[in-house]
Chains A and B, each alone.
Chain A
Amino acid sequence: MKRVTFVSAIIATVILALSGFCVGSIALGCAAIVIGAVWLLILWKSVKRTDLTILLCAETAIAVLNILYGASIYLAGIAIVVAIMSWDFALTETAIASFPAEMTKRFTIRHVIRIGIIAVIGLLLLVIPLQIHIQIGFRTALGLGLGSFMLFAMLLKLMNRRNKGRVGHHRAVVDRLAMLRDAMKKKDGRP
């Protein structure tokens, strides 16, 4: 996990720095390198990893500035996706640090694969809208955005309710089984 975290952090930094230098902004390039170096230092020294969140924000800001300066959105998108990956890997690594490496190996592989899939989907979702050009008004776009947000919120609420029901049902079954066991122990049939 550590290796993947380091590699992804280096890739994100290199891409950001290159795109910064490509658009002719030495400041942005240098800032990307400095942030990358601090990021790597935090990973290496294993200090408070929550500080990486601040660095993720900074890297995103540099990526956005690169875009505004005219850098390729695809490069910036890749940098953002890889930075999110590195951030997630670093936090997961902290969470599993107290467990033996051989036990967490399978988990690590699965986590890397899942994050990789999410990263690919994220990149695709970033690329596809930029390829499709639909002319809609601002109000329509805002309405669509808010509508999708509310739909997502409702979906979450529904899932929560379903899960609560499932856990409640499970608990009821366990209680009933316990009552039955007690009654059998007493041998009088009464709970």
Chain B
Amino acid sequence: MSPSGKIGTILAIAISLVIAGVLVRDGRVLAAGIPFLLYAGIALVSSSESKKPQITVDRHLSADHITEGETLDVTVIITNVGPSIAWIGVAERIPRGLVVTSGETAHFAGLAEDAMTTFSYTLRAPRGLHTLPGADITTWQWMTLMSQQQFEPHETKFLAVPIAEPIDDIEIRPQRTRAYAGVVRANRGGSGIDFFGCHAYTTGDDIRRINWRAYARTRELIVNEYEQERIADVTVFLDARERANSRIGSEKTFTYAVRVAASMAKYFIKQGNSVGLFIYGEYMDWTFPGYGKDQMTRILESLARAETSDKEVFDDLQAIPTRLFPPRSQLVMVSGSLDEHDVEVLGVLRAHGYRIIMIMPDMLRYEASEIPKSEARDLALRIVTLRRKLILDALARIGVEVVQWDVADSLASLLSWTLSRRGRRLT
């Protein structure tokens, strides 16, 4: 209740009692109004004393970027730039989703003129861009009868970027690579480590590469060729369509999809490749390809802000602007689920010469464990599994490499094995 409302109420009761006392001509009823009048009088004097507090709120964060699930220390500094305040209460407004793990988000004390007080707390934040909006300030003067409440806006933003798991070894074979040396096999003879082929000796060839066994057989100088290793263009494509990402309780496939995208981007950037990010859902969020740590930060920031969307325009993958992706480059697509139309679009991309790795976070086992066991559940599970298998087979037929990731398993070990050269050879 506001101070004026409080005084008004009490004063109204007091006046009513006085009027009633005069009407019934009873001094006792008039006397009953005295406590109300006294309270209202003191409250009025108290409220005339209390002025709008002149407070400044400053907030310091231990970092402006954290990884999701990590904690962040927040220190709030309150300075009184006006006359002294008998009692002041400052309560931070904590947005939904943020969890306070330690410390207090509120402070209550007296504050002398030009005095300063601080309090700190620790937050745990999920992935996303978070804003701490400000603090609610309540002040009381020495009588403690009337309080003044105000909101002090002071926005502080910070990003909680997704976890990027360390992946050991992934082999990609895009049709086109860049001119600079890297670790991606370029399907072209030259200097390298892996044997690529032989050709007749020509002037200028390194004599250390002459294949002496072939010479012994043919009496002709033949030189070994090795496969060149270069950097490649990699585009990480994150499917943020609502229908492609299922939600089971508080768990979302999209959370895992974002984690996969971050892990893959981190791996390819670490290998020295040019990596871009494309988020397809709310709008076409395109992070232009680049190299190095700055590019990784840009990608993580985009992924931190990524949300699912059910926009009709992006309902199927037809609207993918292929001109954005470097021609015949490597695409790493992350999607919760696909349908027949999406497979067609991927077929077109393959026909354009793109190499595609499709990683699909799979929550089917988790979802099934959440539903009580019944015949209907088993039947539904079977239908969904069969449908998924059909889609995966169709993808395999058009030459898309598919990795199904059961979210209960480790992502790093799965990718490091399935997409490694050795893993591919054995599976």
Are the C-beta atoms of A114 and B32 separated by less than 8 Å? Answer: no
Are the C-beta atoms of B1 and A50 separated by less than 8 Å? Answer: yes
Task: Give CA–CA (A152, B32) in the complex, Å.
Answer: 20
Are the C-beta atoms of A107 and B31 separated by less than 8 Å? Answer: no
CB interface residues, A 74-116, toward B, < 8 Å: 76-77, 80-81, 84, 88, 91-92, 95-96, 98-100, 103-104, 107, 110-111, 114-115
Closest A-chain residue to B35, C-beta based? A122
A98-B106, A107-B108 given; A67·B26 CB < 8 A: yes
Q: Is B244 an interface residue (CB 8 A)?
A: no
Are the C-beta atoms of B87 and A107 separated by less than 8 Å? Answer: yes
Residue numbers in B under 8 Å from A53 (CB-CB)? 1, 9
Are the C-beta atoms of B27 and A77 separated by less than 8 Å? Answer: no
Q: Is A172 an interface residue (CB 8 A)?
A: no
Are the C-beta atoms of B13 and A57 separated by less than 8 Å? Answer: yes
A99-B108, A159-B48 given; A126·B32 CB < 8 A: yes
CB interface residues, A 32-83, toward B, < 8 Å: 49-50, 53, 56-57, 60, 63-64, 67-68, 73, 76-77, 80-81
Are the C-beta atoms of A129 and B20 separated by less than 8 Å? Answer: no
Bits for B17-38, please: 1 = Cβ < 8 Å to A, else 0.
1101000101111011011101
Are the C-beta atoms of A96 and B89 separated by less than 8 Å? Answer: yes
Residue numbers in B under 8 Å from A122 (CB-CB)? 34-35, 38-39
Closest A-chain residue to B89, C-beta based? A99
Q: Is B389 an interface residue (CB 8 A)?
A: no
User: Interface residue count for B (Cβ, 8 Å)?
Assistant: 46
Task: Give CA–CA (A129, B34) in the complex, Å.
Answer: 10
User: Interface residue count for A (Cβ, 8 Å)?
Assistant: 50
Residue numbers in A under 8 Å from B39 (CB-CB)? 84, 88, 118, 122
Q: Is B343 an interface residue (CB 8 A)?
A: no
Residue numbers in B under 8 Å from A98 (CB-CB)? 89, 91, 106, 136
Closest A-chain residue to B106, C-beta based? A99
Q: Is A174 an interface residue (CB 8 A)?
A: yes
A64-B20, A67-B26 given; A163·B48 CB < 8 A: yes
Q: Is A30 an interface residue (CB 8 A)?
A: no
Bits for B371-403, please: 1 = Cβ < 8 Å to A, else 0.
000000000000000000000000000000000
Q: Which 6 A-B pairs have the closest CB atoms?
A: A122-B35, A103-B108, A99-B108, A111-B144, A73-B28, A98-B91
12 A-B pairs within 8 Å (CB atoms) are namely A56-B9, A64-B32, A88-B145, A91-B6, A95-B147, A95-B149, A99-B108, A110-B144, A118-B42, A118-B145, A122-B34, A156-B44
Chain B interface (Cβ < 8 Å from any Cβ of A):
1, 6, 9-10, 13, 17-18, 20, 24, 26-29, 31-32, 34-36, 38-39, 41-42, 44-45, 48-49, 51, 81-83, 87, 89, 91, 104, 106-109, 136, 138, 140, 143-145, 147, 149
Additional A-B contact list (13), CB under 8 Å, known A67-B28, A167-B82 = A56-B13, A60-B32, A60-B36, A64-B32, A73-B28, A96-B138, A99-B106, A103-B107, A111-B144, A114-B144, A118-B39, A152-B41, A166-B83
